[in-house]
Amino acid sequence: MDSEISDELPSEYFSIIPSSERMDNRPNHTIYINNLNEKIKKDELKKSLYAIFSQFGQILDIVAMKTLKMRGQAFVIFKEVNSASNALRSMQGFPFYDKPMRIGYTKKDSDIIAKMKGTFVERPKKKKEEEHEIRKKKKGQHMQANAPLAQPVVQPVPNVPAGSQPAGGTVAPPLSTPAPIPEQPPNQILFLTNLPEETNEMMLSMLFNQFPGFKEVRLVPGRHDIAFVEFDTEVQSAAAKDALQGFKITPTTAMKISFAKK
């Protein structure tokens, strides 16, 4: 895998990926995660990884690619090695988007850490990478040279029923949508809805305990789809609500968060 060059992944990461037989490298600032759900969009995946890993310490960067060679894999780079170690121990096997995460330390420091330590050495550009870029450039030039001329786009005329068009020739605006239900006033207790069946107290605690003031998660007996999360103050609960609104515990279920009724 070290010799393969992705279209998007910086070449530095191919030298730090651990082999499948060696997930026991010595502690490192960077952890390598695989067995991730490949259907998740890149931006959403990085946001979700940040939400669950930032509780362990400051994150310098998260690298996740959707290219064929890097699907289902990601790197999380922590500022401190202890943070990476705690994250690896705590999240090993954690059910993330319906799949247990497999986590290991990378073989070498990423460039961002090497620069912090003063050990960074510029890598010579690999011959295979140069050849890949040349082929990519030629392919782009070929496609541009053979691109068909753009055809004018004809906009379809809307089918307006007779008698519905007012004077002046303009189409009547659509009926207004109903006003949204007003939000409950701020409360230190949050009300979670639209939770998937596999949700448990540990999963929700890991998501919310990264925010200051977190107290506890309370599940509702006989209901898997709702839960309550309590904080010390309304300001702290509001911060957690804004940060995790719409967070997807599974690929098809987005969590909804509101203030609980007082």
Give pLDDT, residue 167.
52
According to the model, what pLDDT value does residue 4 have? 34
- pLDDT tens readout for residues 134-182: 777 777 666 666 656 555 555 555 555 555 555 555 555 555 554 455 6
Helix pair 42-53, 201-208: axis angle to 10 deg? 90
pLDDT above 50: residue 14: no
Query: Average pLDDT in the 3-23 region?
Result: 44
Among 8-12, 26-30, 59-63, 172-176, which is the least confidently predicted range? Answer: 8-12
The pLDDT tens digits of the residues spanning 181-193 come to: 567 899 999 999 9
- Is 124 or 44 the better-scoring residue by pLDDT? 44
Band (262; pLDDT cuts 50, 70, 90): confident
By C-alpha distance, which of 209, 189, 198 is closest to 251?
A: 198
Q: How confident is the model at residue 25 (pLDDT cuts 50, 70, 90)?
A: confident
Residue 8 has pLDDT above 50, yes or no: no
Please state the pTM of the whole predicted model. Answer: 0.48
C-alpha pair distances (Å), 164 with each of 156, 167, 172, 173, 177:
18, 10, 7, 11, 19
- Average pLDDT on 17-27 reads 57
Quick one: three-class SS letters along the chain?
Answer: CCCCCCCCCCHHHHHCCCCCCCCCCCCCCEEEEECCCCCCCHHHHHHHHHHHHHHHCCEEEEEECCCHHHCCEEEEEECCHHHHHHHHHHHCCCEECCEECEEEECCCCCHHHHHHHCCCCCCCCCHHHHHHHHHHHHHHHHHHHCCCCCCCCCCCCCCCCCCCCCCCCCCCCCCCCCCCCCCCCCCCEEEEECCCCCCCHHHHHHHHCCCCCEEEEEEECCEEEEEEEEECCHHHHHHHHHHHCCCEEECCEECEEEECCC
Identify the pLDDT of residue 9: 45
| pLDDT score of 233 more than 90 | yes
Alpha carbon 173 to its chain centroid, in Å, reads: 38
38 phi and psi angles, rounded to 5 deg: -75, -10
**Dihedral over Cα of 35, 61, 251, 101: its sign:** positive
Looking at residue 216, its pLDDT comes to 93
Q: Which two tokens stand for residue 229?
A: 């999360």
User: Chain-wide mean pLDDT for the chain?
Assistant: 77
Q: How far lies 158's CA from each of 96, 151, 152, in Å?
A: 46, 21, 19
Note the pLDDT tens digit of each residue in 154-163: 555 555 555 5
- At residue 151, the pLDDT reads 55
pLDDT at 239: 92
Residue type, 68: L
Question: What is the per-residue pLDDT for 129?
Answer: 61
